[in-house]
Structure 1
Amino acid sequence: MSETPARTLPAVLLANSRSRPDDIALRHKYLGIWQERTWQQLADEVQKLAAALQQQGFCRDDALLVISEPRPQALLIALAATWLGSEAVLLEPGLPKAQVQALAKELGSRFVFAEALEQVRLLVDLAPPPQLLIYADSRGLGAVAAGFVQAYDTLLDRPQVFPEALASERDVAFTFYRPGADGRFERQRIRHDELLREARQLIASERLGPHEEALAARAFATGGQVRYLLAPWLLAGFRLNFAENGLTRDNDRRELGPTLVAGTRGTYERLYRLLQQRLPEPGSRRRHWLELALRGGPGHLARWLGHWLVRRPLRDVIGFSRVRAPLLLGEPLPDEIAAFFAALGVVVRTWPDAASWQATEEVAIEPVDGWVEERSGRRP
């Protein structure tokens, strides 16, 4: 008899820890060295975090606000929130300080995960402050004199009893916010069943399996990232890799050579510009010959030379030497850029962010320095 398919993200994680406990699920480059975690280690860490949150009073009626660049701690504590039947509110980390503070205050977030010490100091000044502010790295934490601020690692050190997974398939797993064009604050909420349904479609269409290598080079602060990278990672059971930081992501991608890339239009445009800087000047004789090689001349020899002398070296520059599933999340590429990647043998497939954004009906929105405020004390 076949097993019943897992219906929530925590259930999928738990299933992976039982079916492939010793397989490497996640790697993070830290101080130049790749650190590895197995599926069993991930499941244990998520459950420890869920227990620690529960001990601090976190429950279904709460939401965890996550402000972070891509790093394993942010992903795992977000999954811990979903483990308890609640949701993670994923906020773009590049927002100006005043906007982050205003948004956190208006959302009334009692539980917050922040990556940078600068963000911790900003959120400490909220009135009222969060009940629990979790800091990703304990270095420098001594400079913050607030008892409700705790380092991520301290949540894992306590003796704990793993809590039961409380999530159900119709529960909201992730929530996103953005300012709307109509002057209202827009919210996007994505349920477990939506994530898993769309992940299965992606896995079937792209033929993804546990052998894939993917790089998480952007924060999980968009619906597309959780739909087409996070959920497929759990379902297909492949390896998810985190770059050391935003400055090293291109070098880390070249070193890794991922088979799956899930980027935005901005990602591909940035890589396109990087390649253009490596090419001869437009109109030069060298550029003419290079473009001929990219188009591919007739005959096996011409195609072979074009691959090894032009296409392969250019793909190596951006870490696309092994990529077979180049995904574009959201807005499609301009024709010129899409054609250039296709000439390299990288046929980018667009996967739109299918969820709708809805203005919150019960609140009024006022612009604040290019951002918006939600005039409500209600939870996200």
Structure 2
Amino acid sequence: MEGTLLAYLHHHATERPHAPALRVKRLGVWQKTSWKELLERTLRLAGGLWALGLREGEVLAILGYNAPEWVEAELAAQTLGALPMGIYADAMPEEVGYFLEFTGAKGIVVSDEEQLDKVYPHLHLVDFVLVWEEAGMSRHFQGKVLRFSQALGDPKVGEEALKKRRPEEIALLAPTSGTTGRSKLAMLSHQNLLAGHFALGQALGFQKGAWVFSYLPLPWIGEQMLTVVQGLVEGSTVHFPEDPTTLREDLKEVQPDFFLAPPRLWEDMASLIQSRMADADLLKAFFYRVGT
């Protein structure tokens, strides 16, 4: 286990078990997952995935928006020595089918009904589908389609598997941009991801226990490095917004130390601030000019 991402998870769960690892806003309330809880859920999910037939070297696809369940599924797959593969939430059904068939994925974890609908045409390609947003989904849970909570199994299976993990093992299958054709998959080991983190840390000045905001898609390696790798190594608290439409409000509440966003979003935020400052009183305008 030493030299893997999972070793950092185990370290934080042991040394600071009640510190927040993940926070997500749901129904207007921030919900916390501690490091101890994250490790426990990871081991239980690993046990459940094992019971569903997922084995070392096999692929577990993940399709949906950024959420704690995504991270749990990724870490559980790594615990078993399986290969987590993210699929972009805006992927078309044909693209989802391509990835499932191309990789021979054993199963797939999806966020909600919208993503499940993309999997239905390709249900014959996988052994199981787990759905983490269960509200209003009762009619779908039959056959291969299961509740995410149903896959929380025996943690002892995860504990034994965790001891076998090695730094050179593949930790992630990351899709390429696909600008010149079909998207391919980069095979990244624990060593690859950790080396990238330490190089980025020297340039960006990562901080222990920082607050991080997870917004860009997790299939993208950039967000993976911030949300998962940086979060685990530095013991950061990673925050997930409730909805893209509540992004600005959620950002204001969190005030993160690190946050990745496309240029257009930064431009929109700058324009909003500038327009408000144009109508601000003299005191606010003065401090704005001093600060900028």
TM-score (norm 2): 0.88
Q: Partners of 1:306 and 1:201 in 2: how far apart?
A: 39
Q: Partners of 2:199 and 2:172 in 1: how far apart?
A: 19
Structure 1 unaligned residues grouped into runs of 5+: 291-303, 313-343, 345-380
Show CA shifts across 1:49-76 (max 9, x none).
1111111111113111011111000111
Q: How do 1:80-159 residues align onto structure 2 when only pairs under 5 Å count?
A: 80-126=76-122, 128-144=124-140, 146-156=142-152, 158-159=153-154
| Residue aligning to 1:258 | 256
Letter of the structure 1 residue corresponding to residue 26 of structure 2: Y
Q: State the secondary structure of the residue aligned to 2:259.
A: strand
Letter of the structure 1 residue corresponding to residue 119 of structure 2: L
Letter of the structure 2 residue corresponding to residue 103 of structure 1: F
Show CA shifts across 1:194-241 (max 9, x none).
111221233344333334111111221111122244211111112111
Q: Partners of 1:149 and 1:280 in 2: how far apart?
A: 49
Question: CA 1:75 to 1:311, structure 2 compared with 1: closer, same or farther past 3 Å?
Answer: farther
| Residue aligning to 1:76 | 72
Is residue 20–residue 34 contact of structure 2 (8 Å, CA) maintained in 1? Answer: yes
Is residue 172–residue 189 contact of structure 1 (8 Å, CA) maintained in 2? Answer: yes
Show CA shifts across 1:290-319 (max 9, x none).
9xxxxxxxxxxxxx977723476xxxxxxx
Is residue 210–residue 239 contact of structure 1 (8 Å, CA) maintained in 2? Answer: no
| Residue aligning to 1:215 | 213
- Cα deviation, residue 129, structure 1: 4.0
Q: State the secondary structure of the residue aligned to 1:11.
A: helix
Matched, 1:57 2:36: no
Identify the match of residue 171 of structure 1 among 169, 172, 187: 169
Cα RMSD (Å) of the superposition? 2.7
| Residue aligning to 1:270 | 265
Question: CA 1:278 to 1:231, structure 2 compared with 1: closer, same or farther past 3 Å?
Answer: closer
Q: State the secondary structure of the residue aligned to 1:173.
A: strand
- Cα deviation, residue 179, structure 1: 5.9
Q: State the secondary structure of the residue aligned to 2:213.
A: strand
Is residue 111–residue 131 contact of structure 1 (8 Å, CA) maintained in 2? Answer: yes
Identify the match of residue 224 of structure 2 among 223, 226, 250: 226
Q: Partners of 1:170 and 1:190 in 2: how far apart?
A: 9
Identify the match of residue 244 of structure 1 among 242, 245, 249: 242
Q: State the secondary structure of the residue aligned to 1:279.
A: helix
Q: Partners of 1:185 and 1:198 in 2: how far apart?
A: 22
Is residue 78–residue 171 contact of structure 2 (8 Å, CA) maintained in 1? Answer: yes
Is residue 231–residue 237 contact of structure 2 (8 Å, CA) maintained in 1? Answer: yes
Letter of the structure 1 residue corresponding to residue 189 of structure 2: R
Q: Partners of 1:160 and 1:6 in 2: how far apart?
A: 20
Question: CA 1:40 to 1:220, structure 2 compared with 1: closer, same or farther past 3 Å?
Answer: same
Q: State the secondary structure of the residue aligned to 2:124.
A: coil
Please tell me whether Structure 1 or Structure 2 has the larger radius of gyration of its CA atoms: 1
Show CA shifts across 1:122-180 (max 9, x none).
31332524201010122233222632111111222x45424221321111111122464
Pick the structure with more helix per residue.
2
Q: Partners of 1:18 and 1:72 in 2: how far apart?
A: 20
Matched, 1:29 2:8: no
Q: How do 1:40-55 residues align onto structure 2 when only pairs under 5 Å count?
A: 40-55=36-51
Structure 2 unaligned residues grouped into runs of 5+: none
TM-score (norm 1): 0.69
Q: State the secondary structure of the residue aligned to 2:171.
A: strand
Q: Partners of 2:207 and 2:2 in 1: how far apart?
A: 17
Length, aligned pairs only:
287
